[in-house]
């Protein structure tokens, strides 16, 4: 069943919801006009439809494999990657000084969304490289930039990030990897890293690893960690890959999904590396890459959900069963109320998540272009919401996709289950969704909720403006925003962080419900009150938004009730 690029959604969001014209009006992005954006989306959409989508099943049926120490990628992935690299899609937002296009991250995010929907396993490779490009742009020396960025931007070289270790998990500060000064401006990196996405491949001429390790005088915890660039093949001054570095792929993980993406256990055995940023401040440099990746992973989630939705919709429109319950029905299962409910919910959730991701990308672009601190605060607030909600949407939508298929969804040949298996990990990597929620109620409310309250002011102002055209939907959104405001105030008043953390996930999901309704309402107003987006908004606001109340009620329960049952009680 063919994938259809969601360019129409992006164009509507750009023109009527997020205000892309504000980005194009800045001096930094003056060449990225709305017309250019439309052309970029169109070309990227064609590549996703014609090149990437046809190879998606290959990754699942013929996984990446480690053979004689070399990672062999899935059939067709070499041509898919070549199309991505040759099209310039990796370096869209990169610095033109090193060969990038210098386009807004908003456009790059839209393209990543479509690539995720068409072939998530392959899209993960350029996503990692994009994050490395940004980290090097901000923290590397001029010499490192000049040598590595042009190759990463063209896609000749790929980038990875190496954080996790077997004993450390999400507690990065517990890492044991070591770095020792070689005395010549390089360092010897020793240690083992796990869960390294695209840790090696046979489709690029080099793989460049960003590795966290500790210098001999590094303090315990995250404050003593440094960041190093460790290439698979050490390049000469002209950028020609030379001698192999002292690193290797120990094994590839056998995973639930994402079979086409090689997830490696990496061993660094005195490998030669170059420090990125300052000593003992590696986490700050790595977070440049991780924040980019958190937006990217949220988009991966909703992108995979889009692929699952499209396949489920196509199946529902073909599968004939029973007598149609509606007059002039198609005779397919799409006529049945519960199937129609699932399909509409899938569409509504995806549109809400896509709106949020575009809004976050725009905030990042506007801060970069203007330096305005409010845009920076907006981006920081939205990052954990977009990562967590986007991936939860992807999981829930792909799960419903299996359900729409009925028994055939449980049969691997249909491909419906692949979307669920592929997307499930997105709620785990780049910081689990629980960690994202803790970040939201912790660091992101350290301003007393100022950034959150500014966003709530916008939501309520939008609802007030909509009362004349859509009084019922407007009232529902305004009332939900008030409940969210009260819960945010409650969160900021809690001095015991355990009370915040206990309700962090429901708070984030309640926030996302309200924010999604806001974007749906904006879309209905922009459409003029009639049309498919208005009906989708009505579905979301009438049927999904009410969930915010139970989520926010949970958020205010505090931590005490979580510990009244002992672990022994839970086990008995």
Alpha-carbon separation of residue 19 from 159, 426, 461, 485 (angstroms): 32, 28, 16, 25
**Cα 52 from chain centroid (whole Å):** 19
* Distance, CA of 271 to CA of 191 (rounded, Å): 9
- Active-site residue 430, yes or no? yes
Collapsed DSSP state (helix, strand, coil) of residue 561: helix
Tell me the sheet residues that pair with 191.
268
Asked if 233 contacts 244 with a C-beta cutoff of 8 angstroms, the reply is: yes
* Distance, CA of 111 to CA of 402 (rounded, Å): 26
Alpha helices (H) in 140-171, listed in sequence order: 142-154
Maximum CA extent, the chain: 81
Supply 254's token pair. Answer: 């056998």
Cα-based angle 216, 220, 223 (whole degrees, multiple of 5): 95
Supply 1's token pair. Answer: 């069943």
Asked if 554 contacts 506 with a C-beta cutoff of 8 angstroms, the reply is: yes
β 157-162/206-214 pair status: parallel
Q: What are phi and psi of 372, to 5 degrees?
A: -65, 125
Nearest to 202 by CA among 232, 225, 229: 232
Question: Residue 184, class by beta-carbon neighbours within 10 Å (0-12 exposed, 13-18 middle, 19+ buried)?
Answer: exposed
Question: Residue 220, class by beta-carbon neighbours within 10 Å (0-12 exposed, 13-18 middle, 19+ buried)?
Answer: exposed
Supply 167's token pair. Answer: 């004993």
DSSP letter at 73? P
| Active-site residue (options: 349, 392, 430, 460) | 430
* Distance, CA of 110 to CA of 116 (rounded, Å): 10
Supply 19's token pair. Answer: 């205000």
Nearest to 78 by CA among 111, 55, 46, 49: 55
* Distance, CA of 485 to CA of 511 (rounded, Å): 10
Supply 344's token pair. Answer: 């509409």
Question: Which residues form the catalytic set?
Answer: 430
């Amino acid at each position: 069943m063919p994938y259809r690029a969601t360019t129409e959604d992006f164009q509507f969001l750009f023109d009527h919801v997020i205000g892309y014209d504000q980005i194009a009006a800045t001096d930094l992005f003056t060449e990225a006009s709305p017309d250019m954006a439309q052309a970029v989306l169109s070309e990227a959409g064609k590549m996703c439809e014609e090149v990437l989508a046809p190879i998606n099943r290959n990754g699942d049926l013929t996984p990446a494999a480690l053979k004689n120490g070399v990672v062999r990628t899935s059939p067709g992935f070499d041509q898919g990657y070549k199309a991505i690299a040759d099209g310039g899609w990796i370096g869209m937002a990169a610095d033109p000084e090193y060969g990038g296009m210098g386009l807004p991250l908003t456009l790059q995010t839209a393209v990543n969304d479509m690539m995720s929907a068409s072939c998530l396993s392959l899209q993960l490779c350029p996503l990692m490289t994009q994050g490395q490009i940004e980290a090097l742009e901000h923290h590397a020396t001029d010499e490192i930039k000049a040598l590595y960025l042009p190759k990463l931007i063209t896609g000749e070289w790929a980038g990875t990030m190496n954080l996790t270790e077997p004993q450390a998990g999400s507690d990065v500060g517990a890492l044991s990897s070591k770095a020792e000064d070689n005395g010549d401006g390089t360092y010897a990196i020793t240690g083992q890293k796990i869960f390294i996405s695209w840790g090696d491949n046979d489709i690029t001429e080099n793989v460049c690893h960003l590795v966290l390790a500790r210098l001999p005088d590094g303090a315990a915890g995250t404050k003593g960690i440094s960041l190093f660039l460790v290439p698979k093949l050490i390049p000469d001054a002209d950028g020609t890959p030379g001698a192999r570095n002292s690193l290797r792929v120990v094994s590839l993980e056998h995973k639930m999904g994402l079979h086409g993406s090689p997830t490696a256990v990496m061993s660094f055995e005195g490998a030669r590396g170059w420090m990125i940023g300052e000593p003992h401040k590696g986490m700050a440099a790595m977070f440049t890459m991780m924040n980019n990746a958190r937006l990217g992973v949220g988009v991966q989630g909703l992108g995979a959900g889009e692929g699952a939705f499209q396949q489920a919709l196509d199946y529902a429109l073909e599968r004939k069963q029973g007598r149609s319950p509606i007059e002039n029905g198609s005779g397919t299962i799409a006529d049945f109320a519960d199937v129609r409910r699932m399909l509409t919910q899938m569409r509504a959730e995806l549109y809400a998540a896509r709106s949020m991701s575009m809004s976050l990308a725009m905030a990042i672009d506007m801060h970069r272009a203007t330096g305005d601190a409010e845009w920076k605060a907006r981006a920081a607030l939205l990052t954990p919401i977009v990562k967590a909600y986007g991936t939860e949407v992807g999981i829930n939508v792909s799960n419903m996709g299996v359900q729409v298929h009925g028994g055939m969804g449980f049969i691997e040949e249909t491909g419906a289950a692949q979307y669920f298996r592929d997307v499930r990990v997105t709620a785990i990597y780049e910081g689990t969704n629980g960690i994202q929620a803790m970040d939201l109620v912790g660091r992101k409310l350290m301003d007393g909720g100022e950034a959150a309250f500014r966003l709530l002011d916008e939501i309520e102002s939008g609802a007030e403006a909509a009362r004349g055209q859509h009084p019922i939907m407007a009232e529902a959104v305004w009332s939900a925003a008030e409940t969210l405001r009260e819960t945010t105030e409650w969160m900021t008043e809690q001095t015991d962080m355990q009370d915040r953390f206990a309700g962090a996930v429901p708070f984030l999901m309640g926030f996302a419900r309200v924010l999604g309704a806001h974007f749906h309402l904006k879309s209905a107003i922009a459409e003029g009150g009639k049309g498919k987006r208005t009906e989708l908004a009505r579905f979301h606001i009438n049927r999904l938004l009410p969930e915010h109340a139970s989520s926010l009620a949970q958020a205010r329960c505090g931590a005490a009730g979580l510990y009244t049952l002992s672990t022994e009680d839970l086990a008995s």
